[in-house]
Amino acid sequence: MIAIFWNLAHRVVGKMVSTLSSGLSHVWNQVWKEKGRTKMSEQNDANQLRAYVVVGRTPASAIFGADEEMAITYRYGECEPAEVVFRTRYLDKGYEVPVPEDLWVEARGKAMGLIPAAEMLANGARDLATIISVSVNASMGKIDIELAFDATPGVQEHEYFQSFVPEKNLTVVPGRKIDCRATAALVSALTPHSDRERIMRAISQYSLALEYWSPGSELLCVAHLFMGIEALKSVALKQHLHETGLTKEQLGERWGYQQDRRKSIDQYLDHEVRMRILHGGDTESHQKAKYVSDNFEHGFRNFGDLRPKAREVVVATARHLRTAIVRLAGVDAEVRDLLLAPPFDTPRGPLKLTKYLWGQLLGDTGNLAAEGQQYPICHWKSSLGKVVRNEDGGYSFSPTETFTMSLGSGVRFKPGRFEVWDGSCVQEVPRSPVQSSTS
């Protein structure tokens, strides 16, 4: 078993350990392992904190292997460290292999009550899930709390809470597999990073964009992506100055700043850093993304005027932001190249298949709808026909469709074509070549 464990200022036998500073906000300590669990201390402290368990789940567009889980020791502010474990829930649905369904999250920590525990542990899990989503470049869903209970040993009464989370009809299977080692490396790089807070803001914005990632929602995606770009301006500038050995004034001169301009040098460098570094010199995507973001945020244009431009640059803007996050996080070259290569270079939104039925209604009648109905309609049922596990550990599936037409007397349906589209992907709009400059 390979185990990589980072913990606060002490060594765990048999595991690789690094010492971390606690910081002022979030600290993550991360472990990747196959099977097995790291038990938390049950020792009660003088403040009479009690031990709690919070369990949540959500549909996600990427999966952990059946024998994998990721545990992260997480500290929120001045709270006690808590362990958050991520895994994929596999169910036996009668197919050749167990079917991956939900992202399953279990958090254990100490708090003064059930509600504070649920808030702290659930919010911690949601923050950490955003890092996983950037690593795998896929929606990891919106974690809903299903269970929360007091697990303090040696007491007779335990608070308990459960939320009704309905089981959903399984019609689509997540196929992208999370690379645990690469995700571990990303968490490890972020933990001691001097600009962790700003990078985490960008990660949160990128993760939100992934939750909207589907055809027709490009406007909201670009709005969140550009806010992520904005969060990284100072980080990118600081790193570029460090790498080049230049001062702000020297860099401004190199990039064409003139003191008689109305912009200050800081304002000028903000613009140039966004365009040259964070957008990789892609002038077109920078200009259009900024236009969309500014007009969306301040209400200067109607949404209908902004959607076409958002559609043109949403994929490029996502690629630029995620590339910047990975590079600025400081992961090593091997991990960076893996995260920026297929399949992780293509964003995936929430699981969705978009299906269309085309055809013609035939019949000489003034009433195409069946008696008692307002419209002619097809009653449509969809289910999973086959699920297989691929060589790389991901999954493929094929749906089964059942159609029953409900039409007026004497009306027939002549099938044309049936289409199935991946509603989790947004296709890039072709663009003409652009000039780039990152010097």
Write out pLDDT tens, residues 349-366. 999 989 999 999 998 778
pLDDT at 107: 96
Answer yes or no: are the C-beta atoms of 251 and 240 closer than 8 Å. Answer: yes
Q: What is the C-alpha to C-alpha distance for residues 57 and 77, in angstroms, rounded to an integer?
A: 24
In DSSP notation, 194-227 reads TTHHHHHHHHHHHHHHHHT-STT-HHHHHHHHHH
Q: At what angle do helices 283-298 and 218-231 cross, to 10 degrees?
A: 100
Whether residue 16 has pLDDT greater than 90: no
Q: Is 173 left (phi over 0), alpha (psi -120 to 50) or beta?
A: beta
- Examine the pLDDT at 32 and tell me if it is beyond 90: no
d(CA 284, CA 274): 12
For residue range 217-273, what is the model confidence (pLDDT) as tens digits? 999 999 999 999 999 999 999 999 999 999 999 999 999 998 867 889 999 999 999
Query: Which has more confidence, 260 or 211?
Result: 211
pLDDT digits (tens, 9 = 90+) for 33-63: 444 443 333 333 435 899 999 999 999 999 9
Could you tell me the pTM of the whole model? 0.86
- pLDDT 10s digits, 305-321: 999 999 999 999 999 99
Preceding peptide of 215 cis, ω within 30°:
no
Range of lowest pLDDT (15-24, 384-393, 422-431):
15-24
* 134-158 pLDDT tens trace: 999 999 999 999 999 999 999 999 9
Per-residue pLDDT at 294: 95
Which one has a higher pLDDT value, 4 or 402?
402
Q: Report residue 438: phi and psi, to 5°.
A: -125, 15
Neighbours of 6 (CB within 10 A): 23
The rounded distance, in Å, linking the Cα atoms of 239 and 20 is: 22
What does the alpha-carbon distance between residue 293 and residue 92 come to, in Å, rounded to a whole number? 45
Residues 89-121: tens digit of each pLDDT: 999 988 889 999 999 999 999 999 999 999 999
Q: Position of tokens 């080049």?
A: 244
Share of the chain above pLDDT 70, in %: 86
Beta-sheet pairing, 82-91 with 68-76: antiparallel
How high is the pLDDT of residue 365? 76
Residues 57-87 pLDDT 10s:
999 999 999 999 999 998 776 778 899 999 9
